């Protein structure tokens, strides 16, 4: 716990940082885009080029001054809450809470995702089948609006409509400067079971049972995600918080694993059980960006040994991909080699659990990209969120797929991404907006409640200074 003086100092530093943010906002000329001046990003939306910014999802180097807004302000261990600045990464947040045996209710899988980013842009991880999405554990938040005000929004105050609409708004309604979130207790270790299924219907039935009971074969399940390697090789990974002394007979791993030198996703096929320190479990996907580090040769042990351990992390890979997209290196090489152009298919979608087998069957036939990530989720309570309108008391499965598909000259028209959007819509699902989207305005407004967004934008951004969600997500502005 921090002392009273240090808490006071933290709040004073926070207020000073907010004042710098407001001053930088006021200094942006009317008509100029209002964006965060940040050096990292977890977005994969190409952006129409503007002076001083990358045009392919790279970092902004001008805009709102968010310096000093990247820390935990205060931690209430007894009450299991934390006041956190909007630009604080989950890596920083977890480093603060884990020493007290606490973690956020949902910790997205990549280290440099920020708390504010996970709330305004959604996030998900293995605890989402019982804890929902990150914004559901937010108790209150301070938001810098398009009008330049910093307002405190809660579920039941005069800004409750902003509180409810903010998730999935991606900065179109403002930026969170502070969030008070709930925390939950966690043990020092995580015991894993990798359960194989030969059929997507069997896996679906297992997800339904675990989502409703919180157990599998008599053991508690604290975290649940999975990987589909091919149509007849699918795995669910069942995670259970545990102390070293409490590991049971099913935890057949005698020592803990860590996946920096080794590759986590490959272990799923080799080990029926595993034991990780909690911190290593939380970042198990980050070291190899799931499996996308293979694009840099890191699945080759010889290359991996030469790559510094400190650089085996998602933000490093993201910067490299941004540079490649800006220079068009892969497209140039494909043309030189006479290979068809490739379409980038980088998406996370949600479909209702009962439609997961149908989506995977279609995806195998039409896209043929494996492996894919599977992450079940249920809204935590009876509250709905209009900008990402999932149903309550319903289990969904997030399917994440990240790679490229050869499509030839049609690549600029994104035929595969468009087909995915149509299929997800047909199956009653939604897709995240961190990557490219191609919806027409009418469909977009139906899926993401455009009328409500427009009404809130008129209220909190009367001069229309912030870019609308449709312009950000589809028009790439």
Reduce the DSSP state of residue 79 to 3 states and report it. Answer: coil
Annotate 306-332 with DSSP letters as a single string. Answer: HS-GGG-SHHHHHHHHHHHHHHTHHHH
Which pLDDT score is estimated for 423? 97
Where among 232, 255, 285 does a domain terminate?
285
Q: Residue-wise over 167-206: b if at least 16 C-beta within 10 A, else e?
A: bbbbbbbbbbbbbbbbbbebeebbbbbbbebeebeebbeb
- The answer to whether residue 293 is domain-embedded is no
Shared domain for 25 and 134, answered yes or no, is yes
Taking the chain (477 residues) in runs of 10, the rounded mean pLDDT of each run is: 63 95 92 78 58 39 83 97 97 97 97 96 96 97 96 98 97 97 97 97 98 96 98 97 67 74 96 96 96 92 94 91 70 68 92 98 94 97 93 97 90 94 96 93 95 96 95 89
pTM above 0.75, yes or no: yes
CB 146 within 8 A of CB 137: no
Q: Are 186 and 278 in contact (CB under 8 A)?
A: yes
Q: Are residues 24 and 160 in the same domain?
A: yes
Q: Are residues 17 and 135 in the same domain?
A: yes
In terms of C-beta density within 10 A (0-12 exposed, 13-18 middle, 19 or more buried), how is residue 116 classed? buried
Q: Are residues 194 and 160 in the same domain?
A: no
- The verdict on 229 and 332 lying in the same domain is no
Calpha distance 110→261 (Å, rounded): 18
Instruction: Please indicate, yes or no, if residue 128 is contained in any of the structural domains.
Output: yes
pLDDT at 71: 96
Q: What is the CATH number of the domain that holds 346?
A: 3.30.70.2520
Please give the pLDDT value at position 41: 65
- Give the gyration radius of the chain's Cα atoms: 22
Q: Which pLDDT belongs to residue 40?
A: 65
Residue 308 lies in a domain: no
For residues 199 and 163, membership in a common domain is answered with no
State the CATH number of the domain containing residue 158: 3.30.465.10
Any domain includes 431: yes
pLDDT at residue number 48: 58
Q: Report CA dihedral (290, 293, 299, 302) to the nearest 10 degrees.
A: -140
Instruction: Decide if 20 is inside a domain.
Output: yes
CA–chain centroid gap for 356, Å, is 20
Beta-bridge partners for 438: none
Strands 175-185 and 138-144: antiparallel
pLDDT, residue 1, reads: 47
Which of 192, 184, 251 has its CA nearest to residue 224? 192
Tens-digit pLDDT profile for residues 48-71: 544 333 333 444 445 899 999 999
Please tell me whether residues 242 and 344 are part of one structural domain.
no
Residues 160, 120: one domain?
yes
CA dist 258 and 264 (Å) reads 8
How many C-beta neighbours within 10 Å does residue 296 have?
19
CA distance 35 to 176: 13
Query: Domain check: are 366 and 426 in the same one?
Result: yes
Is residue 370 a part of any domain in this protein? yes
Q: How many domains does the chain have?
A: 3
**Residue 132 has what pLDDT?**
97
Q: Are residues 182 and 193 in the same domain?
A: no
Q: Which residues pair with 406 in a beta bridge?
A: 342
pLDDT value of position 323: 76
**Are 179 and 256 members of one domain?**
no
Which H or E element spans position 424? Answer: helix 415-426
Domain assignment of residue 410, given as a range: 328-438
Judge if 135 and 273 occupy the same domain.
no
Q: Is residue 302, in this structure, part of any structural domain at all?
A: no
Residue 448 lies in a domain: no
User: What pLDDT does 118 receive?
Assistant: 96
């Amino acid at each position: 716990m921090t002392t009273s003086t240090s808490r006071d100092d933290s709040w004073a530093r926070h207020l000073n940082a907010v004042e710098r943010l407001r001053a930088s906002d006021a200094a942006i000329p009317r008509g100029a885009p209002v964006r965060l001046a940040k050096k990292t990003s977890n977005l994969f939306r190409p952006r129409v080029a503007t002076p001083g910014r990358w045009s392919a999802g790279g970092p902004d180097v001008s805009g709102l001054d968010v310096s000093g807004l990247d820390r935990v302000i205060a931690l209430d261990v007894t009450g299991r809450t934390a006041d956190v600045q909007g630009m604080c990464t989950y890596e920083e947040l977890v480093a603060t809470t884990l020493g007290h045996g606490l973690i956020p209710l949902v910790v997205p899988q990549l280290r440099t995702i920020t708390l504010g980013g996970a709330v305004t842009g959604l996030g998900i991880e293995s605890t989402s089948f019982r804890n929902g999405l990150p914004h559901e554990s937010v108790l209150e938040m301070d938001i810098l609006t398009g009008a330049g005000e910093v307002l405190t929004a809660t579920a039941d105050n005069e800004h409750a409509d902003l509180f409810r609409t903010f998730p999935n708004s991606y900065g179109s309604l403002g930026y969170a400067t502070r969030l008070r979130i709930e925390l939950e207790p966690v043990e020092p270790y995580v015991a894993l079971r990798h359960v194989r299924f030969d059929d997507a219907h069997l896996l679906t039935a297992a997800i339904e049972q675990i989502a409703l009971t919180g157990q599998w074969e008599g053991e508690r399940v604290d975290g649940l995600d999975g990987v589909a390697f091919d149509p007849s090789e699918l795995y669910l990974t069942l995670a259970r918080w545990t102390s070293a002394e409490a590991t049971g007979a099913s935890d057949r791993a005698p020592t803990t694993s860590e996946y920096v030198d080794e590759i986590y996703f490959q272990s799923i096929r080799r080990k029926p059980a595993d034991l990780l320190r909690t911190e290593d479990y939380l970042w198990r996907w980050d070291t190899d960006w799931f499996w996308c580090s293979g694009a840099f040769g890191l699945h080759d042990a010889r290359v991996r040994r030469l790559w510094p351990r400190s650089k085996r992390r998602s933000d490093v890979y993201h910067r490299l991909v941004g540079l490649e997209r800006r220079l068009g290196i892969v497209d140039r090489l494909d043309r030189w080699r006479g290979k068809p152009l490739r379409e980038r298919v980088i998406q996370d979608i949600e479909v209702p659990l009962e439609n997961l087998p149908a989506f995977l069957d279609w995806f195998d036939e039409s896209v043929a990209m494996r492996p894919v990530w599977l992450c079940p989720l249920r809204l935590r309570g009876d509250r709905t969120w209009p900008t990402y309108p999932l149903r309550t008391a319903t289990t969904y499965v997030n399917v994440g797929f990240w790679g490229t598909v050869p499509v030839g000259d049609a690549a600029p028209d994104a035929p595969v991404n468009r087909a995915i959007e149509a299929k997800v819509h047909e199956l009653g699902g939604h897709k995240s907006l961190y990557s490219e989207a191609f919806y027409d305005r009418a469909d977009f407004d139906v899926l993401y409640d455009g009328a409500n967004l427009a009404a809130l934008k008129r209220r909190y951004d009367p001069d229309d200074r912030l870019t609308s969600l449709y312009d950000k997500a589809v028009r790439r502005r």
